[in-house]
Amino acid sequence: MGILITPSILNSDFSDLRGELAKIAGADYAHVDVMDNHFVPNLTLGLPVVESIVRASPVPVDAHLMITDPDRWAPAYAEAGAGSVTFHAEAAAAPVRLAREIRSQGARAGLALRPATPIEPYVDLLAEVDMVLVMTVEPGFGGQPFLTSMLPKIRRTRDAVAAAGLDVWVQVDGGVSRSTIEQAANAGANVFVAGSAVYAAEDAAAEVSTLRDLADG
Ligand code: DX5
Ligand code: ZN
């Protein structure tokens, strides 16, 4: 399974999104964290800004929706042109219908799991999605330390995907850096969000390739 690097722009300079996006032209997706101050205790940006980001980004947008009502909002992000739209399992009332709506708009559908949410209740949904996002921090903020206690869940998710014979990506988000990306890759992740690791680096583009090399190793 191919390695994908999806830097999060959460800790970038929001007053210069075009410039910040240009720095990650060598990545596979731009990970955009949508927070509503209800599902998580933080507020970032919403649909109109994501529409602009889609137009300005040199790479497809990976929208991570940390919102309470994804059933209502997620399809609109797909319609706006996001290449991938991920909603939280805990928040979705009808995850199968929602994943199908996202896919019918031409986007990949992702299912996200907070640290306290296991993969097991969702194994039968794997055929309906393109990606499972295993959070390795509590969602809400960048710059938190990687939760190594999530490594077994990454492994169980990868094993469940393999057992079902599916081509579902396993993404990790939270605290991914030079010092943690190999553990996540070894546990079975193939898609890596890195926010502060990329945007705090002297050279964001170089950091993307360093992370890719480490994950590929
Ligand atoms: C956290 C977000 C992450 C965050 C990652 O809720 O979902 O995407 O931006 O930032 P780092 O890489 O700094 O943990
Ligand atoms: Zn995220």
Residues 114-170: tens digit of each pLDDT? 999 999 999 999 999 999 999 999 999 999 999 999 999 999 999 999 999 999 999
173 is catalytic: yes
Q: What is the pTM of this model?
A: 0.98
- The CA-based dihedral angle spanning residues 73, 75, 81, 83, taken in that order and rounded to the nearest 10 degrees: 110
- The CA-based dihedral angle spanning residues 89, 146, 194, 129, taken in that order and rounded to the nearest 10 degrees: -20
pLDDT of residue 24: 98
Indicate if ligand 1 lies below 6 Å from the C-beta of 102.
no
Q: Indicate the pLDDT class of residue 87, thresholds 50, 70 and 90.
A: very high
pLDDT of residue 58: 98
The pLDDT > 90 percentage for the chain reads 99
Indicate if ligand 1 lies below 6 Å from the C-beta of 33.
yes
Spatial separation of the C-alpha atoms in residues 13 and 46, rounded to whole Å: 16
Which residues have a Cβ under 8 Å from the Cβ of 119 and sit 6 or more positions away? Answer: 113, 132, 134, 153, 156, 157, 160
Cα(141) to centroid(ligand 1), Å: 6
Which atom of ligand 1 is the closest one to the Cα of 198? 12
Spatial separation of the C-alpha atoms in residues 79 and 85, rounded to whole Å: 10
Tell me the pLDDT tens digit for each residue of 173-187: 999 999 999 999 999
Which atom of ligand 1 is the closest one to the Cα of 146? 14
Which atom of ligand 1 is the closest one to the Cα of 144? 14
Residues 3, 185 contacting (CB under 8 angstroms): yes
Indicate the domain borders of the chain: 4-216
Q: Please pick, among 16, 28, 33, 36, the residue that the annotation labels catalytic.
A: 33
Residue 76 buriedness (CB in 10 A; 0-12 / 13-18 / 19+): middle
Mean pLDDT of 28-57: 98
Residues 197, 12 contacting (CB under 8 angstroms): no
16 is catalytic: no
Q: Please pick, among 36, 124, 173, 203, the residue that the annotation labels catalytic.
A: 173
pLDDT of residue 43: 98
Q: Indicate the pLDDT class of residue 88, thresholds 50, 70 and 90.
A: very high
CATH fold group of domain 4-216 = TIM Barrel (3.20.20)
Instruction: Tell me the two tokens of residue 144.
Output: 């938190």
pLDDT of residue 206: 98
Indicate if ligand 1 lies below 6 Å from the C-beta of 7.
no
Residue 1 in this model has a pLDDT that exceeds 80: no
Per-chain mean pLDDT for the chain: 98
Mean pLDDT of 11-36: 98
Mean pLDDT of 188-207: 98
Mutate to test the pocket of ligand 1, among 67, 141, 191, 192 (most ligand atoms within 8 A of CB): 141
Binding residue positions for substrate: 8, 64, 140-143, 173-175, 195-196
